Amino acid sequence: MSNTLKVLFGLAPLAAAFPASVLEAVKFHPGLQARANEILQERQAGAAAAQAIFEPIPLFNAAEQYVNISAGSGHEYQAPGPNDLRGPCPGLNAFANHNFLPHNGYATIQQFIDTTAEVVGMGTDLAAFLAMICNAEQTRYEGDASPTRPDLYEAGNDYKTVARQFEQLISMSPGGQVTLDSLTAFRSVRFDTQIANNPYFFNGPFTGVLVQPAAYTFIYRFMANHSAEAPYGDLSYSTIASWFGMTGSPGSYVANQGQERIPDNWYKRALAYPYSIPYFQQDVLSAAALHPKFLNIGGNTGTTNSFTGVDVDNLTGGIFNAADLLKGNNAACFAYQFAAQAKPDIALSVFNLVNQALGSVLSVLGCPQLQHIDDAQLEMFPGYQKSTQAGITK
Ligand code: HEM
Ligand SMILES: *[C@@H]1O[C@H](CO)[C@@H](O)[C@H](O)[C@H]1NC(C)=O
Ligand SMILES: *[C@@H]1O[C@H](CO)[C@@H](O)[C@H](O)[C@H]1NC(C)=O
Ligand SMILES: *[C@@H]1O[C@H](CO)[C@@H](O)[C@H](O)[C@H]1NC(C)=O
């Protein structure tokens, strides 16, 4: 079991799996984007909270939002066997355990896109981007300060659920509910804890700016249960515990590796409001507005508490500076462009496909063109160096 868990959730070879319709699917929701920008402006003018709702009108439709995993549905929970691949992502693991994705853990990009939309309402733009980045990297990307997974060079793995971290999230979430606010407060504590404990902590330009927040916002945006009373979603302790494969109760949770399950009687987000790239981006900025350190690119330099930031200006040949990152689409543009960087070990055809998809992301976001990315500056961070040597994108 633990051996199979080491591998990133398997993906079939891209060339065979990549349908033309995927690029078509990389599209945005202009109404939602406009409303999100409005809310962000309101928020910047007033109260700060991580929880910003972008759905202009609360909607709930039980028949449409119900995810049927009951007996006879074909989607009953089935624990992974010894030859089934499970990886660091609780969402994908749960989908495979319920046969929404192939139970053996190998899926095509189209299956990732269809399934994430069908089961949890992920936007096709975000799903296509994640699936392609994971695939193009062949191995995986890895961000530090994840919610329940340890840092790679702290624990020797980055995929096993750490019950203590789950307990910490629960203890920081009062009133029986995990919220985007409690998740963001927890992220801030995890960030500081890793600086204080992991000599190799690294907050990378892509993984720190986008992968790390995704690991937190996805928990609320995709795992919460929806209802007429709670159209934006409630995430009770028992609902999140199921999704993370935890049994027990606060103070005595036990992690069951690879056993993530969709809760019984669970309702996904409203179909009209997929969690798309612009939506996600606003969540990223809301969190960074509360905790500006989230956008500090840099890391520890080989000892604990040695966090050193890099000059974003230099990293990008003067296109962005640290103060700019909180404005408009800058943080997302900055991170996507790092993600798009060529890696010598990626086959050219794969890289071109990623670039095509990213090209549409970047043009819709109106990103300034980065001429030069100077990642030599990142070499001073052992967490970055060790990962690139091991073929992992930080
Ligand atoms: C195409 C779709 C997806 C891909 C390729 C993907 C991939 C990944 C990867 C590679 C990680 C590990 C990142 C790291 O080590 O820092 C991760 C973490 C995570 N994913 Fe996904 N994911 C996808 C969809 C989802 C969905 C739909 C959900 C929720 C239902 C989800 C929830 C999470 C959470 C909560 C984490 C953080 C786990 C933790 O540390 O506690 N993901 N995902
Ligand atoms: C869920 O699926 C089962 C098995 O197909 C079916 O009997 C049941 O009516 C479905 N429930 C709902 C609410 O659709
Ligand atoms: C989701 O909410 C509905 C309505 O309140 C409730 O009947 C159902 O049990 C809830 N599901 C979960 C998993 O909490
Ligand atoms: C950043 O750029 C400035 C101005 O070109 C230069 O003086 C400085 O040495 C650079 N810093 C790094 C770390 O490259």
Predicted pLDDT of residue 9: 40
**% of the chain with per-residue pLDDT over 90:** 50
Lowest-confidence segment of 2-16, 44-58, 380-394 by average pLDDT: 2-16
Residue 12 forms part of a structural domain: no
Tens of pLDDT, residue by residue over 67-86, are 999 999 999 999 999 999 99
Probe residue for ligand 3, chosen from 67, 240, 266 as the CB with the greatest number of ligand atoms within 8 Å: 266
Does residue 111 lie in a domain region?
yes
pLDDT at 140 over 80: no
Phi–psi pair at 145, nearest 5 degrees: 60, 45
Give the residue-averaged pLDDT of 209-215. Answer: 93
Confidence of residue 351 (pLDDT cuts 50, 70, 90): low
For residue 115 and ligand 3, the question of a CB distance below 6 A is answered with no
Three-point CA angle 203, 207, 212, nearest 5°: 85
As a whole number, mean pLDDT of residues 41-68 equals 79
Mean pLDDT of 279-290: 89
Residue in 353, 330, 329, 344 with CA at minimum distance from that of residue 375: 344
271: confidence class by pLDDT, cuts 50, 70, 90: very high
Residue 265 Cβ inside 6 Å of ligand 3? The answer reads: yes
Atom in ligand 2 nearest the alpha carbon of residue 71: 4
Ligand 2 pocket check for 66: Cβ under 6 Å: yes
> By mean pLDDT, which of 63-72, 142-151, 223-232 is the weakest?
142-151
Ligand 3 pocket: which of 222, 223, 227, 242 to mutate (most atoms within 8 A of CB) = 227
pLDDT above 70 coverage of the chain, percent:
78
Residue 320 has pLDDT above 80, yes or no: yes
Q: Using CA positions, which residue lies closest to atom 6 of ligand 3?
A: 265
Please report which ligand is nearest the Cα atom of 75: 2
Of 236 and 129, the one with more pLDDT: 236
Check whether 287 has a pLDDT greater than 50.
Answer: yes
Question: What is the 341 CA–ligand 4 centroid distance (Å)?
Answer: 21
CA dist 342 → 2, 71, 160, 375, 388 (Å): 32, 47, 30, 12, 13
Supply the pLDDT for residue 367.
79
Cα-to-centroid distance, 394 and ligand 3 (Å): 38
* φ and ψ at residue 183, rounded to 5 degrees: -65, -40
Query: Which residue range(s) make up the domain with 149?
Result: 62-390
Looking at per-residue confidence, does 338 or 151 come out higher?
151
The reply to whether 36 falls in a domain is no
pLDDT at 25 > cutoff 60: no
* Separation CA 35–CA 93 (nearest Å): 33
Residue 380 lies in a domain: yes
Cα–Cα separations (whole angstroms), residue 377 to 103, 320, 333: 42, 15, 19
Flag whether 41 is in a domain.
no
CA distance 8 to 88: 7
Q: Is 142 in the pocket of ligand 1 (CB under 6 A)?
A: yes
Domain count, the chain: 1
166 domain residue, yes or no:
yes
- 9 close to 159: Cβ distance less than 8 angstroms: no
The pLDDT value given to residue 1: 23
| Domain assignment of residue 321, yes or no | yes
| Mean pLDDT score across all residues of the chain | 82
**Does the pLDDT at position 121 exceed 50?**
yes
282: CATH: 1.10.489.10
- Ligand 1 pocket, 143 CB below 6 A? yes
Cβ of 89 less than 6 Å from ligand 1: yes
Mean pLDDT, residues 199-204: 94
